[in-house]
Amino acid sequence: MSRLQDRVIIVTGGAQGIGRAYCEGLAREGAKVVVADLERAHADDLVRALAKDGHDALAVRTDVADAADTERMAQATLDRFGRIDGLINNAAVFQRPAMSRVPFEKIPVEEWDRLMAVNVRGVFLCCRAVVPAMKARRYGKIVNISSGTVFYGAPNALHYVTSKAGVIGITRSLARELGEHRITVNAIAPGLIISMDDVDPARDAQNAQRLQARAIKRTEVPEDVVGAAIFFCSAESDFITGQTLVADGGAQMH
């Protein structure tokens, strides 16, 4: 029996990168996946690929920073599938669109604000949009994507690291608010993952450095974090909430 048979799970930022790997992994476990992404064409492309493999999926063009968009995302899911079992808050300003990697005093204020709007407010808005449907069925799984950078502190990305620390704050506080409704809220903190086809020499050097710091000495790829997402969306994690799982090949140990 597949672990997520017929569960309806929304993946924000699911059209590309690691989000796409979450969608594929959840679908393989039997879930009906909703690909909620700013990039409609990429979301449609993924839904077509999933359908070819026999999976039921839906693409919804969504800007997670926009409250009305997140309400539409939840409604479109309910219209199509009649329920919402899970939400993976994966969308972020990170690579697509690319954030600036500069000393903190050079971060444009507008970029700081947009990044917070997507990476932090977006998580709040998406949770707010789906929780009523979860409460109605007295069950739900929310998975927030943070980052290992929060724990070791990364230079030249102050807005990003701050936003991902905020994601952990949301995870812990929301877990306390929603526990009585049997809704779990957990976070995954990946390490540096190679998730783009084009090679950036600066990131290559960074990756070589990270690789040395890991207990498991190889490059981290999107599929390395999919198992954690499946676990947090499945019944196997029903008594685990408010936690942050670091999935980085043992670079950091808690």
Ligand X SMILES: NC(=O)c1ccc[n+]([C@@H]2O[C@H](COP(=O)([O-])OP(=O)(O)OC[C@H]3O[C@@H](n4cnc5c(N)ncnc54)[C@H](O)[C@@H]3O)[C@@H](O)[C@H]2O)c1
Nearest distance from C-beta of residue 79 to ligand X, angstroms: 19
> CB-based contacts of 53: which residues, under 8 Å, 6+ apart?
27
- The correct pick among 23, 84, 185, 192 for binding ligand X (CB under 6 A) is 192
According to DSSP, the β-strands at 86-89 and 244-247 are: unpaired
**Phi-psi region at 234: left, alpha or beta (left = phi > 0; alpha = psi -120 to 50):** beta
Give the per-residue contact string, 71-100, with ligand X (x = CB under 6 A; - = no). -------------------xxxxxxx----
- The correct pick among 7, 8, 19, 126 for binding ligand X (CB under 6 A) is 19
**Cα 131 from Cα 137, distance rounded (Å):** 10
Q: Is 160 in the active site?
A: yes
Which of 15/127 has CB closer to ligand X?
A: 15
**25 counts as binding ligand X under rule CB under 6 A:** no
**63 counts as binding ligand X under rule CB under 6 A:** yes
**190 counts as binding ligand X under rule CB under 6 A:** yes
Report the site for ligand X in 147-176 (rule: CB under 6 A). 147
**232 counts as binding ligand X under rule CB under 6 A:** no
Which of 22, 139, 152, 160 is an active site residue?
160
The distance of Cα 96 from the centroid of its chain, to the nearest Å, equals 14
Which of 135/187 has CB closer to ligand X?
A: 187
Nearest distance from C-beta of residue 45 to ligand X, angstroms: 11
- Considering only the stretches 34-42, 48-56, 72-80, 232-240, report the one whose residues sit in contact with ligand X under the rule CB under 6 A: 34-42
Q: Which helix (H) or strand (E) holds 93?
A: none
**Cα 93 from Cα 79, distance rounded (Å):** 29
Helix axes 158-178, 109-116, angle to 10 degrees: 20
How far is the CA of 145 from the CAs of 11, 81, 109, 245, in angstroms? 11, 24, 24, 10
- The correct pick among 11, 15, 88, 107 for binding ligand X (CB under 6 A) is 15
**195 counts as binding ligand X under rule CB under 6 A:** yes
Q: Which helix (H) or strand (E) holds 86?
A: strand 86-89
Looking at the DSSP bridge assignments, the partners of residue 98 are: 94
The contact set with ligand X (CB under 6 A) reads 12-13, 15-19, 37-39, 62-65, 90-96, 118, 122, 145, 147, 190, 192-193, 195
Active site residues: 160
